[in-house]
Structure 1
Amino acid sequence: MNDELTVLAEAGAAAVVTAMATDLWQETRGAVVALFRPDRRRRAALESQLDGNATLVRQASDPDAARQALFSYWTLELTALLRRDPAVRAALERLAAAVEDAPGGGTRGRVLRQTNTAHGSGTVFAVQQGDQHAYGAKAEWERGVESQG
């Protein structure tokens, strides 16, 4: 399978596990089941797997860790599906985009933790998922250069 389809399977898996135990879950679950519709034998097991995984995430003391653990499983499932039925590609792209764009979906729905420490006279400039502008520090430095020059 080429890299593009692998990335698509990973994006789909991220969408599935991100939506588990959120308001996006029922819609996402329905979309995943629809991807597997032609495979009737597999569909019942898939629905059970989805429900069981969502329960694991909902009951986990660390839901993000549970989602991370399930990510590989869903990447494998979706990779196998794309190999069997490349026609699901467009639907999987829509699913991944819908979860990413939804309020509380994608990376916006995760809690990110960051610890930054400066020692002595150090300064920490840190940012997650955004831009950082440090005008104050630059202006102080420029004033120091001007007074020495």
Structure 2
Amino acid sequence: MLSEALAALAASGGTALVGAMATDAWTVTRAGVSRLLKHVGPGRRDAIEAQLDANVALVERAHDPEQARQALAPVWQLQLTQLLEEHPELETALVDLTTAIQAALPAQHQQWVQTNIARDNSRLFAVQGGNVFYHEAPPPAGQERPSSPE
């Protein structure tokens, strides 16, 4: 199980990675991920790199590339989580890669990269460039809504 900090790093790295897909930042991103994967062995490295290439193609062909990126972000968060679980010594390398990706992203994609993490049964509301509308149904008759810890 990863620490909260490493889990947040995996989330941030996964979001940055998919944010770079099908952008001018992809060359920097692909090379950095390839360097990061040198620790996983050639068979797994080839499989992950093939998955990367296939995912970039999905984003390029998607009618809505942003929606495709949003769908792929959890996949790459999981990939990076597993990598950090197996190789926690890669933390610094992933921080450096995430920073390099974010710096290389075109301005319109730098805003796309956002990491929001909710823990311990908490609620998190986040939005970029829009509004949040929240509606909660009343509890069933005879039941009370659990109170929030303060």
Query: What is residue 65 of structure 2 aligned with on the other side?
Result: 63
In the alignment, the residues of structure 2 paired with residue 34 and residue 107 of structure 1 have an alpha-carbon distance, to the nearest angstrom, of 23
In the alignment, the residues of structure 1 paired with residue 130 and residue 39 of structure 2 have an alpha-carbon distance, to the nearest angstrom, of 44
Q: Tell me the amino acid that sits aligned with residue 26 of structure 1.
A: T
Number of matched residues? Answer: 114
Q: Give a deviation string over 1:124-143, Cα, whole Å, max 9, x none.
A: xxxxxxxxxxxxxxxxxxxx
Gaps of 5+ in 2: 114-127, 132-150
Q: Which SS does the other structure have where 1:101 is aligned?
A: helix
Query: What is residue 19 of structure 1 aligned with on the other side?
Result: 20
Q: TM-score, normalised by structure 1?
A: 0.70
Q: TM-score, normalised by structure 2?
A: 0.70
Gaps of 5+ in 1: 116-149
Q: Tell me the amino acid that sits aligned with residue 61 of structure 2.
A: Q
Higher helix share: 1
Q: Tell me the amino acid that sits aligned with residue 46 of structure 1.
A: I
Aligned residues with identical type, % of pairs? 40
Query: What is residue 131 of structure 1 aligned with on the other side?
Result: none
Are the equivalent residues in 2 in contact too, given 1:33–1:46 (CA < 8 A)? no
The higher-RCO structure (CA 8 Å, 6+ apart) is 2
Report deviation, 1:96. Answer: 1.0
Q: Tell me the amino acid that sits aligned with residue 22 of structure 2.
A: A
Q: Give a deviation string over 1:104-136, Cα, whole Å, max 9, x none.
A: 1653368x6537xxxxxxxxxxxxxxxxxxxxx
